[in-house]
Structure formats: C-alpha cells, structure tokens
Amino acid sequence: MDRFAAAVLLLVALLPGMALGDDADMRQLGEDAANYAMSELGFEKGDLNVLAITNAGYAVVDGQTTDICLDAIMEVAGCTPGRHNLVNVQNAPWKTLWFGFFNKETGYAVYMKANEDATGFEIQEKERIDADYVLDNVDSWVPGVFGHMLPIANIWAHENTPYIFMRAVDLHNHLCPGVSSGFLEAKYVEKELPIEDPLNQSYKVISCPCWCKEDAFQVMWDATPGKRGMYVKHISEVERVGLRDKYGGIDVAGIFIRWDGSTNTGDGLVLGFNWTKAQDLSNADTWPSWAYRLKEDEILMDSAKTPEDFVSTIMEFHLYNVDELQALEGAGLNPLKVLGVENGGH
C-alpha cells in the first residue's frame, strides 16, 4: 500500500494542471514578487512602512487560482491583513495578475505584472510615487503603470486612514474620490444617527443617485443588496444637475436610514455632498485627472474626523412602519420624489 500510495502521489504531481504543481508555481511567483520588492525598496520582512497591493486570489491563470501568492507575500515580505499593510483588490478572474509594493519612508514603489502564463513577469518597474513628490512635479511626472496603485498607496499612508477604508478599496478595486466621499458620508451618519441598540438597529441605504460611494457602505456597515441593506437607483444627469442647482451647488448623495427591527421604525437623513468645494481645493480646473483626483482623496481623508466639512443634511425624516420604508425601496419609484426632495410625482 505504501508503494501504491507513493506511485499515485508521483502521478498526480506529474499530471499537467494538477494542484501540487500549480501551487508550487504560483507560490514561487509570489515569492519572486516579494523578493524583488525587498531588494529594490530596501526593506526587511515585517516592515510596517511597506504596503503590498495585489489582485492575487481573484486572478485565474489557465484555470489555476492565485491564492497561494498571498501566502508567499505574507511569509516572505511579512505584509499581512493583521499588520494592515496588505491590500487585496478584487478583480474579475480574467484580469492579469499583478503585484505592487510601496515604501512610505522613501516614497518608492515597484510594480510587477505577470506574463500571460504566469511563469514570470512581463513588467517590473520602480518609481517614486509619494504624493508630495508627484504633486510637486505635476507637469513632468507621468503615472504610467503606477496609475492604479498611486492613490491606494498614498491614502493608505495618510495618518487618518482606517484599515476598514482600505477594505472598501479592496471591494472597489481602486481608490477614487467617489469611494472617499462614501467614507465621509458613513462617518457623518454615524455621528448624527449612531447605532444605540446593536441587536436591533442597522443602517439601510437607499442609494439615489449612485456613484462609487456605495462600496464603502457595504464594507463599513455590511449594508449589502443581498441582505436588503442597500437599494441602488439611477437618476439622469439632468436630474442630478437640477438637484444641485436646487440645493445651492450641493449634490444630493442618497438616503440613509437607521432602522430598528424591534419596532419597525426608522430615522432617516437625505445627505448632500459638496463636490464643488472638494474640486476647487484640488486644482480640478488646471491639473490632469490623476493629479487632482489624488489631491482630492487627500483632502477628503484630511476630514475623516470632521465629515461635516463636505457632508450636510438636506432633510431629516422618520419612518413609522414597514410600508413607509418599502415606499422608498420599491421598484419603479423615485425615493427622492416620495420624500419631496425632488419635485414631481413617483
């Protein structure tokens, strides 16, 4: 039996596409990425100044999953979720596998893109990407392959950034002012309508209009569509502009409800977000998109403890029963019109 078992294991190891060989290849790729980063960026295992960013675990190469790359990064570089320095961005499985590392002490980063069969790297580049440097050199600096990880790395390094926000970035798979605005809106609601009875109370979001902010609520509050914590509804650009004009340049940012399941009642807010102010402070009229969006992310995170700098209440309301809640959630209804925030019928 021992001889038979050994023969079976050998056969499995030699068959193409089987788990033993796949794990070994993917592990080696993760180790190679970590070792390259440690060599180029000059850090040792466990350095808390270093962030690892990758879509490993989501990318699939020729039917092979890439989860084992994460193990290799954690074991070799010491970047882990527990140390708050591993960002694992979600991607569709057909996206190319990539790795990035950023050293906030030096401002330098490396980026690696795996080749088609993940036997090595098609791209390996090093660049200085810290916000102070790149924004001082807006006219000459070009993001290149670092465009995707540029805002992720710099906002991770911001002193106000909680790791729960980076988990929202994981879900959204990139960082932009839209996600940052959702973070501030969530902090504002937590101040104005705090959860006082965790067993019975939860937040519900009637997202109308929607933008990138919704992914922050799903992570920060567990307010997901599948658990009926979020309902997403579209309004036209004409409606959005009309609402902005109606409320003095403030964009309507959605409907937020603290729902009490024990009484089937809720307290709600319709929030506004001051995009005009955020963009004016970010040189949006003169800088290229990558630069003003990075600056805007920094400015919004500066207000992590004072979300009222950009978020305001357009309306307060109370829901007395489930029927009133469903009147906002229902298909074919514009909840902003139901509440009277926007003129017109349902």
Question: Which has the higher per-residue pLDDT, 345 or 232?
Answer: 232
209 prior amide bond cis, ω within 30 = yes
Tens-place pLDDT, residues 166-203: 999 999 999 999 999 999 999 999 999 999 999 999 99
Residue spans of beta strands (DSSP E) within the chain: 50-54, 60-61, 64-65, 86-88, 98-103, 108-114, 121-128, 201-207, 230-232, 251-260, 265-273, 311-319
Q: Measured between alpha carbons, how far is 298 from 228 in angstroms, rounded to an integer? A: 32
Is residue 266 a contact partner of residue 320, using CB atoms and an 8 Å limit? no
Q: Which amino acid is at 34?
A: A
Q: Please identify which residue in the block is written with the tokens 């790395």.
A: 153
The mean pLDDT of 68-95, rounded to a whole number, is 96
| Domains 16-157 and 177-339 alike in fold | yes
Looking at residue 149, what is its pLDDT? Answer: 96
**Range with the lowest mean pLDDT among 19-28, 78-87, 256-265, 301-310?**
19-28
Element (H, E) at 148: none
Q: Could you state, in order of their start, the residue ranges of all structural domains in the chain?
A: 16-157, 177-339
Looking at residue 344, what is its pLDDT? Answer: 56
Q: Please identify which residue in the block is written with the tokens 């109308």.
A: 208
Is residue 284 a contact partner of residue 244, using CB atoms and an 8 Å limit? no
- Kindly tell me if the per-residue pLDDT of 333 is higher than 60: yes
To the nearest whole number, what is the mean pLDDT of the chain?
Answer: 91
Pairing mode of beta strands 60-61, 265-273: unpaired
Looking at residue 179, what is its pLDDT? Answer: 96
Q: How confident is the model at residue 332 (pLDDT cuts 50, 70, 90)?
A: confident
What is the DSSP track for 1-64? -HHHHHHHHHHHHHSTT-HHHHHHHHHHHHHHHHHHHHHHHT--TT-TTEEEEE-TTT-EETTE
Looking at residue 114, what is its pLDDT? Answer: 94
The mean pLDDT of 225-253, rounded to a whole number, is 92
Looking at residue 13, what is its pLDDT? Answer: 40
- The pTM of the full predicted model, rounded to 2 decimals, is 0.89
The neighbour count for residue 171, using CB atoms within 10 Å, is 14
| The pair of three-digit structure tokens given for residue 34, joined into one six-digit string | 């970590």
Does the domain made of 16-157 have the CATH classification 3.40.50.410?
A: no
Tens-place pLDDT, residues 12-39: 343 433 333 444 489 999 999 999 999 9
The mean pLDDT of 287-315, rounded to a whole number, is 97
- Kindly tell me if the per-residue pLDDT of 87 is higher than 50: yes
Name the CATH topology of 177-339: 60s Ribosomal Protein L30; Chain: A; (3.30.1330)
**Range with the lowest mean pLDDT among 11-15, 51-55, 80-84, 229-233?**
11-15
- Kindly tell me if the per-residue pLDDT of 308 is higher than 60: yes
Q: Measured between alpha carbons, how far is 326 from 82 in angstroms, rounded to an integer? A: 40
Q: Find residue 101's DSSP bridge partners.
A: 52, 110
Looking at residue 343, what is its pLDDT? Answer: 78
- Kindly tell me if the per-residue pLDDT of 71 is higher than 60: yes
Of 62, 74, 82, 134, whose CA–CA distance to 99 is shortest? 74
- Kindly tell me if the per-residue pLDDT of 234 is higher than 70: yes
Looking at residue 15, what is its pLDDT? Answer: 40
Pairing mode of beta strands 108-114, 311-319: unpaired
DSSP 8-state assignment for residue 261: T
Q: What distance lies between CA 167 and its chain's CA centroid?
A: 6
Tens-place pLDDT, residues 130-173: 999 999 999 999 999 999 999 999 999 999 999 999 999 999 99
